[in-house]
Structure 1
Amino acid sequence: MNKLSAKVSPCSAPQHLFRPPEGSPPQKDPGGPEVSSCSSRCPLKAVLRVTAGLLLAGCMSAAWAWAAHSAKHALTRLQAPFFIIWFCSIWNLLFFPLYYLGHLLGSERREWPSVRLRKCSRFLGEGELTVRLVLKGAAPFSLLWSTSGYLHLLSLCRISISDGSAVLCCSHAFAFLLSWIGLKDRFMGVRIVAAIFSITGIVMLAYADGFHSNSITGVALGVGSASTSAFYKVLFRKNVGEVQPGPMCVLLSCVGVCGLLLHSWLCVLLYLTHTEYWPPSQHIPWDTLCTTAALLLVFNLMVNLGGVLSYPALTSLGVLLTIPASAAVDWFMSSTLVVSHVRGAAFGIISVGFLLLLLPEDWDERALHWFGTLWHGRDESLLGEDIGVEAAGPVRIKLKSAGSALSLPSHCPESALTLPRVCPHTALSLPSHCPESALSMPSHCPESALTLPRVCPESALTLP
């Protein structure tokens, strides 16, 4: 079992409108209704993407918790964790067929499977796609995948599902440290703090039942699984690049091929050395194994393809929600979870560290810009209270520093104007719904710049 994860800001171009000559009838801007409808649609699309992301996060957490419970139940009847993870990895062969089915349903320009497969598998190498090329490119990923899942199943034999999920969430912190060292990623203090939080939570989980309990070994195996998963993510970024649906599905299908061709002999070897025991085929819990494999397939599909339907941050949030979902499964299904203060604090610290890792690289600049916008907005509102504005008739505000005057039509009675300090060139644009607006500006004030208020959202008076 393994958890492998993978900005849209709606905006429109500024509309520069002209002032019609005096006495001419008001002219309608043909782009006005389109801009208005686009402005009204963009928030709806954002709300739909957020809603889809929240639903995906809930489904991801439920699928993972159910799969972990099924795997732990299968371990009680089949003492063969490597055989279980090998059986689940073979189901990865279905990734590309499911991706191609979505391509047929959602794409306007459809392609043959062979053409689409070659386009998505360019990261494996140039030339014809052969079995040798597939094994050479995907064998390291298949090895890391199976190792991570095998260690996680071993840890589930000793710790609860919620503890295993919490430790596995720390793989994001390990991936950051490996990317910082190996890929020379940008150093971020907040992510270093997140890594410290993750390590602290792991130590607290190991201490939750005492250092002499069996949970020490289980947490250590979980840390090994999380570290291997982090290696997988860093290797993917180095060899493939950013997470994209097509290459990701091709890679996971190649992982299934490698598992079928390369790891089958290892299952037989473990059976012959009596490391794992297989009962007769009629006693193997095939229903539980198929349930676990199908749920893992669904979980990884939502993790790797969730960014198409929603924002990647919400998809990552679904990975974090596996902790409370697993705790709920432990509480209601097996009643083996002892929620102590130390364990609860460990879950909270690991969750805080995970959320800190979701912050973008320029989060500090965005925060400063947001606070600056709030502060300047407060200053502008105070300035507007000091300026006397007439409620009816053309609005005329005299700027004391330069004597400039601006007149606006009466149907924009609550207009507010701001004047920057330095702007040597004057360029003005008016909205289409104010066709008879008149702007007057004295020649001795060349440094004036004016902007219209939020009550006229498409209006803008800007300077280069």
Structure 2
Amino acid sequence: MSLFLQQGGTVPLDGSASNDVSGNDAMMSRSSLHADKKKFLSGLVIVFLIAATWVGSTQLGKETYTSHFNAPYFTIWFSTNWIMFSYLVCIPVYVLLYRKDLKSMWRHSTLVFSAQGITLRSLATSTLPFTIIWEATNYMYLRALGSIPPTDVTALFSSAPAFVYILSFFILREPLLVLRVFSVVLAISGITLFAYSDGFGSASVIGVSLAVLSAVGAATYKVCLKKRVGDADLIQMSLFLSLLGLFNFLAFWPIVATLHYTQVEQLNIHYIPWVPLCLSALCSFAFNFFINFGIAFTFPLFISIGTILGIPMNAVIDVAIRHIDLLNWKITAATLIIGGFLLMLTPSTDSLYLHKKFTMLIKLLPNKFSTHNHHGELLK
């Protein structure tokens, strides 16, 4: 509040306060540079942690498939249960950073559901639909890992921002911008090339389709979450995820039991790969925590870079450990999707500027052609 008053104050017309103002500006500038440097360095650490936990979750998720265990839904249900501890983990972080007491923190946290806090109606309209989307998206992602290599899955999943933009255009009324339309075209081209490289009639196409559907599911989750909770902060999103995990634990276990007793997913406690299962769940939990932490305390661009870095890191593991050959077609397809992803990161102001320049150029072209034709007729 004091900074606002200083900025909004008046300066004497004789300029007697000019030295003080310039001194304050210099101090503020140095303070701002120091804060940006700190934000940048912490962002680099978070980039690595996001990439590492995503790669760990994906590679370990692949390891849960064994000759005696093939239960992707149980794996997703088990992993989702872990996020119910998100709020407990974030409480000490939030208290240390913001110096707030637990009561005011809880009151602030519950505002993510409604202005009245947590009510039965707000829980029903938030927790249930988002848990369904969460589980469906992660289930298709894990099923895709059972058919195609982790590098392919992560590359295809990176097309999610393109689907976010498509859905935002219809749901959030985002403007139609040329650069972002082009990024969507690049992403779709990469997806098509992935399917073509494996052959449109091959079994791998099922894995490609599942990975793309998981990207669509992730886009749906993000757009609906944006519409539902807006710009929620770290502690609010932690409470939201904790209740999502709790609801998953309490309400979705009958699906696990049904799949087991119908022998769709047979669960023998002696054959469950507990080590990769628990480590994958831990990496998934850490990944979601670092995403929310990074959004709150560093540049949003860093979060996107962290997810992009997961693709080459998975590729190194697939080649070095799984001995999978990376085909040229797939490298090209992944490059197209990454290119579309990076174009989607262009700030809205820059995208709008380029869009205006492009539309002006398009409008000028007919005039140039008509002028050229007119001069041709005069020469005749």
TM-score normalised per structure 1: 0.70
Question: Is 1:86 matched with 2:77?
Answer: yes
2:212 aligns to what?
223
Report how far residue 67 of structure 1 moved.
Answer: 1.2
Equivalent pair of 1:135/1:254 in contact (CA under 8 Å): no
Identity %: 26
Matched residue type, 1:54: L
2:105 aligns to what?
116
1:165 aligns to what?
154
CA distance 1:366–1:179, shift in 2 (3 Å): closer
Which residue of the other structure, out of 93, 97, 102, is the alignment partner of 2:88?
97
Matched residue type, 2:57: A
Equivalent pair of 1:188/1:361 in contact (CA under 8 Å): no
Which residue of the other structure, out of 28, 49, 59, is the alignment partner of 1:38?
28
Q: Give matches, 1:189-338, under 5 Å.
A: 189-279=178-268, 281-336=269-324, 338=325
Structure 1: unaligned runs, 5 residues or longer? 1-11, 21-25, 369-464
Report how far residue 13 of structure 1 moved.
Answer: 8.6
2:17 and 2:28 map into 1 onto residues whose CA distance is 21
CA distance 1:47–1:367, shift in 2 (3 Å): farther
CA distance 1:296–1:361, shift in 2 (3 Å): same
Equivalent pair of 1:135/1:258 in contact (CA under 8 Å): no
Report how far residue 171 of structure 1 moved.
Answer: 1.1
Report how far residue 151 of structure 1 moved.
Answer: 0.6
1:132 and 1:91 map into 2 onto residues whose CA distance is 25
1:257 and 1:324 map into 2 onto residues whose CA distance is 34
Q: Give matches, 1:440-455, under 5 Å.
A: none
Q: Cα RMSD over matched residues?
A: 2.5
> Which has the bigger relative contact order, CA under 8 A and spacing at least 6?
2
Q: Which moved more, 1:243-252 or 1:349-358?
A: 243-252
1:358 aligns to what?
345
Matched residue type, 1:296: S
1:56 and 1:326 map into 2 onto residues whose CA distance is 18
Report how far residue 367 of structure 1 moved.
Answer: 7.5
TM-score normalised per structure 2: 0.85
Q: Which moved more, 1:286-295 or 1:40-49?
A: 40-49
CA distance 1:37–1:15, shift in 2 (3 Å): farther
CA distance 1:205–1:367, shift in 2 (3 Å): closer
CA distance 1:128–1:68, shift in 2 (3 Å): closer
Give the greater-gyration-radius structure (CA). Answer: 1
Which residue of the other structure, out of 131, 137, 141, is the alignment partner of 1:148?
137
Report the structure, 1 or 2, having the larger helix content: 2
Question: Is 1:347 matched with 2:334?
Answer: yes
Equivalent pair of 1:117/1:250 in contact (CA under 8 Å): no
Question: Is 1:74 matched with 2:74?
Answer: no
1:147 and 1:27 map into 2 onto residues whose CA distance is 62
CA distance 1:14–1:78, shift in 2 (3 Å): farther
Q: Which moved more, 1:158-167 or 1:123-132?
A: 123-132
Which residue of the other structure, out of 47, 67, 90, is the alignment partner of 1:57?
47
2:31 and 2:111 map into 1 onto residues whose CA distance is 37
Equivalent pair of 1:125/1:133 in contact (CA under 8 Å): yes
1:57 and 1:165 map into 2 onto residues whose CA distance is 16
CA distance 1:198–1:32, shift in 2 (3 Å): same
2:176 and 2:351 map into 1 onto residues whose CA distance is 13
Q: Secondary structure at the match of 1:363?
A: helix
